[in-house]
Structure 1
């Protein structure tokens, strides 16, 4: 992570905050210079500490350390280590990962809608009103939704998390955004000395969690085994070596059992799965309702992961149709082969989407794509256009990359028929969307 640069001799500024900006920031100005402020709200007057930016920089970044005039939408943060005002009193930065926790939940969604609208307008030239839907009726104040959580380990062996855009580690003893099954492991009570990072997955269906230990250099198998013995059952424990892409079982399984819409999935190690407990069901319903796959159609599921969308698409097109399922990660693609076993209408291909589409012969009737945060890009959009589908369902986790890609589709004559935005990351600035694009 980047280190903060030396800002100025007087790093504290009094600022009046204006509009929200993509990325969890709010815009303020100081002597004509834009300052991107975190942990603030539009209309507030705050004292902010500059964290990045030299005197000749075009913009600065800053953290709110004191609120001089508060917004009526400001609430008490539900997680002390992530509360910027409390952290400032102790002289340390807040933990990242809950940067909207000081904002009332309804206002969070209003701000996210404004951010999405601005990205559409600026990057795609589209004027469209957006509303952000909660993931489910029981949102619990935006807490207890993460079925995946990642932690660092500090020099004393304690569970920790990073401050935003910093290598600084801050110990934590609870993660209120996580589902109870993650907190019930009480990993903060363990001495994690030989570990550099911990990844936890706890499926929403209540099946056994999986704890991945990423070893520090020189960690001995004996010490890693001792940590595994102290992690409560029925959690499985494995060692993950990201450099070697090697997964070693210590106890239980090296995968978790997920389920959605009557389909069962196994997700191995660090394999991708939607984080919010309700996200798989919410997004699958949106995809099927939008794309409306029909028996006999030729469909592609791109960036398909472990097959979350592939399985219901295959059921919809039946044995008379086909589904091309493309995933870049070798491990996740192997999961897809297991999850989709017994569906002969599915062709599973592991590789980069643009390369697979280049080799793929024949046309398509419909496409579903769920790219990573960077988006699909112009080349993939053009390749899809040339495959002749009448409809594309685009699942996106970043409004900027989606708006950019939407612009590419519009240039080729496509139309944005429907757009839904979901609050699948409450108390953070992130959001998920589903767009239905149709050929003009």
Structure 2
């Protein structure tokens, strides 16, 4: 028997954030762990004026892309929200989501949209993870919970790390702490497995690309799109420890300066330690503060790789006003990218700057999840 809060729906497509989308009596319903064309019995968990959220009670008829997840923890663990989809469908949905999101914010932008770049690995690709330990339990948080799902393997993590799970669990247990221990494990530049605690005072190694196999393709694409132009200066905003900075410095040897801007002091320290090029200057600063004093000219290249929140309206307006020759924007969230492009092109038009969005390409950086990386090229007409 179906209760009054239960309804039958069919999933149309997937949304930013990974949930399925269905419509019922004029209401948009978001359903986590759904697949396109699933016919479901769901129970509403949250209801607002124009949308609702629901949980799956029963899969009445699975969509063609639904599968049994390869990982035995997938139904509990909060780490991978798309393991129930075939890899082909994951890629198709990401490609659609990026295009639809950019067009939603920027309906008048015309650009070349290249096919999604597939990850060389769909499993065993992560070189950095943050497991948890408490009360003898080692693993990851359950979905929408702070309960730990105990694991002895993680299929999206490189085996060099998962082989160390027993050692890291014993290390955490030896601390005899009753508090939750947030851990970090990663493969260093020298291929060593390292691990430690993340605390309020120490946030670990800071940001780095976790899929080193796909990062090579992303880096090559960014350099290719930057082109063979002669640039006076090269700016790498949100530079991290230099993932793009050092390859840019190597490629553009005639540029008078290579400027990297990064807020995390650990990453700046690592970047400065690697720097042997006298043209390279590392600034410890948030990007917005730096842009207030930056001197970017019409003969310069700007590369920016902001966090999920994207850049600010001020930064995008400042870039439009500076009118660099080319901008390469690497994004890890389609919504912030689309919004930033809207800010940029609206202000560029207002200022009479003739820019266009040349091309966009999605990158499968995080298989088995809804997360997607995107690269965009903006250039002067």
In structure 1, what is the Cα distance between the partners aligned to 2:140 and 2:4?
28
Instruction: Find 2:274's aligned residue among 303, 315, 339.
Output: 339
Cross-structure match for 2:31: 37
In structure 1, what is the Cα distance between the partners aligned to 2:207 and 2:311?
17
The answer to whether 1:398 aligns with 2:355 is no
1:294, distance to aligned residue in structure 2 (A): 4.9
Cross-structure match for 2:226: 291
Aligned pairs for 1:27-426 within 5 A: 27-50=21-44, 52-54=45-47, 58-83=50-75, 94-125=76-107, 126=109, 129=113, 131-136=115-120, 139=121, 142-154=122-134, 156-187=135-166, 190=170, 192=173, 194=177, 196-203=181-188, 207-214=191-198, 241=199, 243-245=200-202, 269-292=204-227, 294=229, 297-318=232-253, 321-340=256-275, 342-361=276-295, 363=297, 365-411=300-346, 412=348, 413-426=354-367
| Contact kept in structure 1, 2:259 and 2:282, CA below 8 Å | yes
| Contact kept in structure 1, 2:288 and 2:312, CA below 8 Å | no
| Contact kept in structure 1, 2:94 and 2:362, CA below 8 Å | no
Question: Is there any run of 5+ residues in structure 2 with no aligned partner, and where?
Answer: 349-353
Alignment CA distance shift 1:174-1:321 (3 Å):
same
Render the CA deviation track for 1:171-208: whole Å, top value 9, x for unaligned. Answer: 222110101111111248536352511111125x7710
Cross-structure match for 1:433: 374
Render the CA deviation track for 1:29-65: whole Å, top value 9, x for unaligned. Answer: 3443322111111211123344x415x5543323334
Moved over 6 A (4+): none
Between 191-200 and 103-112, report the one with greater CA deviation. Answer: 191-200
Size of the aligned set, in residue pairs, is 364
Partner SS state of residue 355, structure 1: helix
Q: CA RMSD in A?
A: 2.3
Render the CA deviation track for 1:247-288: whole Å, top value 9, x for unaligned. Answer: xxxxxxxxxxxxxxxxxxxxxx42211011213311210111
In structure 1, what is the Cα distance between the partners aligned to 2:330 and 2:226?
12
Between 391-400 and 166-175, report the one with greater CA deviation. Answer: 166-175
Alignment CA distance shift 1:381-1:75 (3 Å):
same
In structure 1, what is the Cα distance between the partners aligned to 2:49 and 2:142?
22
TM-score by length of 1: 0.77
Cross-structure match for 1:233: none
Alignment CA distance shift 1:209-1:34 (3 Å):
same
1:157, distance to aligned residue in structure 2 (A): 2.3
| Contact kept in structure 2, 1:117 and 1:130, CA below 8 Å | no
| Contact kept in structure 1, 2:13 and 2:21, CA below 8 Å | yes
Alignment CA distance shift 1:362-1:213 (3 Å):
closer
Partner SS state of residue 53, structure 1: strand
In structure 2, what is the Cα distance between the partners aligned to 1:10 and 1:176?
39
Partner SS state of residue 337, structure 2: helix
Render the CA deviation track for 1:100-150: whole Å, top value 9, x for unaligned. Answer: 1111111111111111121012112246655322022xx3xx110111111
| Contact kept in structure 1, 2:9 and 2:41, CA below 8 Å | yes
Alignment CA distance shift 1:401-1:105 (3 Å):
same
Question: Is there any run of 5+ residues in structure 1 with no aligned partner, and where?
Answer: 1-8, 84-93, 215-240, 247-268
Cross-structure match for 1:228: none
In structure 1, what is the Cα distance between the partners aligned to 2:231 and 2:26?
60
In structure 1, what is the Cα distance between the partners aligned to 2:197 and 2:183?
5
